[in-house]
Chains A and B, each alone.
Chain A
Amino acid sequence: MSSEAHSSAEYIKHHLQNLTFGQHADGSWGLAHSVQEAKEMGFFAINLDTMGFSILLGAVFLFLFHGVAKSAKAGVPSGMQNFVEWVVEFIDGAVRGSFTARNNMVAPLALTIFVWIFLMNLMDLLPIDWIPGLATMLGLPYMKVVATTDPNATFGMSLAVFFLVLYYSIKMKGVGGFVGELTLQPFGKWGLPANLLLEGVNLIAKPVSLALRLFGNMYAGEMIFILIALMFSGGAVLALTGGVLQWAWAVFHILIITLQAFIFMTLTIVYMDMAHQEHH
């Protein structure tokens, strides 16, 4: 019993560890072969699986959409063009709905966020042992398929969005205007420390909540898939139940992955809109 619990813990841990490349404690470079080793590599290491899958999926997205964009004609659209146009119009509608300033960057930003996150989340629906199993056969110690269950990926995106928000805040309002917004409201100039504290938290909360919401949802979803997968090794009845549960959770997860991509995109649009808004 103890050994079984141990192997379950191993299984879960194995599924939650990224394929990390970095410098070992002894100074040599290579892949981390245990959770401990990955931890010891510190900041100067890279999660090859996160980078690989996110770049692959981003490339798939850009390849498909760019292919359509190159041959986009005003005439009767083909099937693929129709689909891409449908997505583009959906994003365009969302941007028009919540973004009031003029900035040619926001709509492509929203499109990239939505489709890219959606594709990365979509990997969650693959049976969780397929690709890691393949990787084990190839001799790779770990393989995490869903890039959005890696906080590096979600924080990477949310920090990029955060820098855009800072950049456009300063660009639209000037340094004085931006600092004024942080310090002079809501309590006027005599409540400056309180203002700074409130507005500072407000500002920092944007990227943190953006990243953590996506990460949390995807991580929890992945975790449930892992726990369901554990049932497969518990006898026929349990395995059958697991199968049904996995199917049900996957169906429900279709909603979650779309919703999370949409929320990330919408909040990005809203934050960009706030960065462009001047209120005095």
Chain B
Amino acid sequence: MNINMTLIGQSITFALFVWFCMRFVWPPIVAALETRRKEIADGLAAADRGRHELELASKRSVESLQNAKQRASEIIALAEKRAAEVIEQSKQEAKVEGERQLALAQAEIQQEVHRAREQLREQVAGLVVAGAEKILRREVDAKAHSALLEEIKSGI
């Protein structure tokens, strides 16, 4: 219970312990704690960022899915329209072609008729001439009467 040199010895011991603790014990532990704190904070921030990105991505995917659906229906509509157009057009074309063919055929028929009539006229003229010859019992000079013959011919 006496105050003696122990007092000073304890002071020195204490000072040395504090110095050692300050130099070698406290800083590394606090640094480790700080690093861990930062790591956890970073991890939480990264997780937050990830969640946010996931949200964005899912929103984007929904959007693009909707877009694609819309686009597909547009394309289908367009194709249907186009198909209708094509059908319409080919109908039109067929009609036109048919009409053309019809006109052609009619023209041909007309020509044929014309030709037949011409032939018939020739033959009739020939018959008429032959008939007239028989009636007259003499030859008709075709040259001399060609004008007359022609007149008869066109009169038929």
Q: Name A's B-contacting residues (CB within 8 A).
A: 16-18, 20, 22, 38-39, 41-47, 50-51, 54-55, 58, 61-62, 65-66, 68-70, 72-75, 84-85, 88-89, 92, 104-105, 107-109, 111-112, 116, 150-153, 155-157, 159-160
Contacts and interface: CB of A to CB of B under 8 A. Distances in A.
Given A16-B1, A74-B35, A159 B7 contact: yes
A41 B31 CA distance: 48
B154 interface: no
B71 interface: no
Interface residues of B, number: 32
Contacts of A54: 10, 13
Contact of B13 (A42, A51, A104): A51
Given A58-B13, A66-B24, A74 B4 contact: no
B30 interface: yes
A36 B7 CA distance: 20
14 contacts: A50-B10, A51-B13, A54-B13, A58-B17, A62-B20, A62-B21, A85-B32, A88-B30, A108-B21, A112-B14, A116-B14, A152-B6, A159-B11, A160-B11
Nearest to A64: B25
A108 B10 contact: no
B13 A39 contact: no
Given A45-B2, A160-B14, 6 more contacts: A18-B1, A72-B29, A74-B32, A105-B22, A150-B1, A153-B10
Which residue of A17, A44, A153 has the most chain B CB atoms within 10 A of its CB atom? A153
Nearest to B28: A69
B78 to A, nearest CB: 61
Contact of B18 (A16, A22, A43, A108): A108
Contacts of A85: 29, 32-33
B144 interface: no
Nearest to B26: A108
Nearest to A43: B4
Which residue of B22, B30, B32 has the most chain A CB atoms within 10 A of its CB atom? B32
A116 B36 CA distance: 27
Contact of B28 (A62, A72, A116): A72
A153 B6 contact: yes
B119 to A, nearest CB: 117
A77 to B, nearest CB: 8
B85 to A, nearest CB: 71
A51 B10 contact: yes
B15 interface: yes
Nearest to A163: B11
Contacts of B142: none
B4 A46 contact: yes
A41 B6 CA distance: 13
Contacts of B15: 160
